[in-house]
Structure 1
Amino acid sequence: MVEQQSDADIDRVFHALADATRRDIVRRTLVTEQSVTQLAAAYAMSFAAVSKHIAVLAEARLITKRAEGRVRLVRADPAALARAQELLRSYEDLWRGRIDRLDALLAQPDAPASTARPTRAARTAEPDAPASTPPTEP
C-alpha cells in the first residue's frame, strides 16, 4: 500500500530525480557512503554545484547527510526510493486496469443497435424522418 505523502513531498522527490546528475549521485551513494568531496570529484562541475544537487536530494529525503569530523558523508535512503517506486507502481496498476477494461470492451462483439449510441446524423435528423435521409426543406 502506498504511504500517504503530501503532493509537495511527491513533487520534491520527482523533481530531485528529474536531473541526471542527481540520479547518478543517488546511484553512487546506494552502493556506498561517499563524501561530498568524493562526489564532487566525479563530475565536471564546481563543488558548490554538486553541493546544491546534494541539498535538493536531501530536501526530498532521498539521501541522508552526516558529519564525521570535517567530512560530510552522503548515503542514499533505500526506503525513500522504495516509496517513490511504490507510487509509480500504483499509477502503473491504475493504468493497466484501465487498459485491461478497454481491451475487454473492444473484445466484445458489437452491441445491438438499441443500445448503441446514436450517430451525429441520427441525433440531428427530424424526429419523423429516417436517419439516413436528409431533412426536407419547406
Structure 2
Amino acid sequence: MSRRIAVAGAGMAAARFAQQYRAHGGDAEVVLYGAEPRGPYNRVLLADVLTGRHDPEGTALPHGAGTTVRTGCEVVGLDLVERRLRLSGGESARYDELVLATGANPVLPPLRGLHGPDGRGGGEDAG
C-alpha cells in the first residue's frame, strides 16, 4: 500500500502544496478534498472572469501530475487516532499524512447592507 497524503481543502494553498511536493521529488499519493464543484482555481482572477477578460477555464491552477482532486467532497471530521477523514457524503478515507489547507475568512469591506442587524451576512440592502 502506498503512502497517502490527504489535503483538507482544494484551493490555492492546496494546489501549491501539491505542486511543490512533486517538484521536490515527493512520490506519495496526494489527494485534495474540496467542497467546491471544481478543482483549484485562481480566485484572484474571479473579477476578471465576471468582466469577460478571462475565461473561467483559464483560472485553473496546476497541482502536479499524480495528484487526485476530489471535488464536491468536503472534509467534515477527522479521526486522528485511526488516521481517517470523514467526508460530507458519509464515506471515510484513510491517510498517512494530513495537510490542512482550508483557507481563511475573507476580509469584508464595511459596505452598507453587507451585514444584517444581527451582524451576519445578508442585510436587506445587500446586492
Asked if these proteins are the same fold (TM beyond 0.5), I'd say no
Bigger CA radius of gyration: 1
Which of structures 1 and 2 has the larger relative contact order (alpha carbons within 8 angstroms, sep 6+)?
A: 2
Structure with the larger helix share? 1
Structure-2-length-normalised TM-score:
0.24
Structure with the larger strand share? 2
Structure-1-length-normalised TM-score:
0.23
